Chains A and B, each alone.
Chain A
Amino acid sequence: KNQVEQSPQSLIILEGKNCTLQCNYTVSPFSNLRWYKQDTGRGPVSLTIMTFSENTKSNGRYTATLDADTKQSSLHITASQLSDSASYICVVSEEQAGTALIFGKGTTLSVSS
């Protein structure tokens, strides 16, 4: 069964610190992997989209990595800010044609001052 597992479920860090969120998937065949940020009370917003041939992609202080061989991805946040407090959702696309998007349940990040 195609699955996307995220860890940790929740995380608390101090402002200015770095952190890394993990995403493991069993989706096959794999098309692309996305990371979304969802602020409380709002819809998800795309941070990065990576195909199987891409190893890393950055969006400001957010850097996503992908290892298609081990089926693992990580999202690294550098110099965290209070505004980074949100849920981060990993989404894997099973195939290019169609709707097979498999969602993880997300990691809730709290950044405190």
Chain B
Amino acid sequence: DAGVIQSPRHEVTEMGQEVTLRCKPISGHNSLFWYRQTMMRGLELLIYFNNNVPIDDSGMPEDRFSAKMPNASFSTLKIQPSEPRDSAVYFCASSSGLAGVYEQFFGPGTRLTVL
């Protein structure tokens, strides 16, 4: 099993540009999570999908952030327009069930730098 796959691994962009992060969950998992990690705030849940449907997006910072899951094997997190304060490591994770019960498997992360 290849685990959770994220791309790109590193992204450097200028303020105002659109950024799209991609995630392929583990095959057979029906829950997918997007997290953001910074030194100041640690890991924060942004959004959670179950069976491709957004269940909890209360962690999405603002309207500049959007996430989609068009099918069970692919999800995107888009930031438009990007700002320097969006610089962080973004993780995607997947699990075989509910977030509070089942183990989550994390991808390697995408390190985003907004200049």
**Residues of chain A whose beta carbon lies under 8 Å from any beta carbon of chain B:** 31-32, 34, 41-46, 49, 89, 93-101, 103-106
Contact = CB atoms under 8 A, between A and B. Distances in A.
B93 interface: yes
Contacts of A41: 108-109
Given A44-B106, A49-B103, A97 B44 contact: no
A104 B43 CA distance: 8
B56 interface: yes
Which label, helix, strand, loop or mixed, suits the secondary structure of the A interface?
loop
A99 B45 contact: yes
A61 to B, nearest CB: 20
Interface of B: 4, 33, 41-45, 48, 55-56, 91, 93, 98-101, 103-109
B100 A101 contact: yes
Given A43-B4, A43-B91, A99-B45, A31 B100 contact: yes
Given A46-B103, A98-B98, A99-B100, A105 B42 contact: yes
A87 to B, nearest CB: 9
Contact of B43 (A44, A93, A96, A100): A44
A97 B98 contact: yes
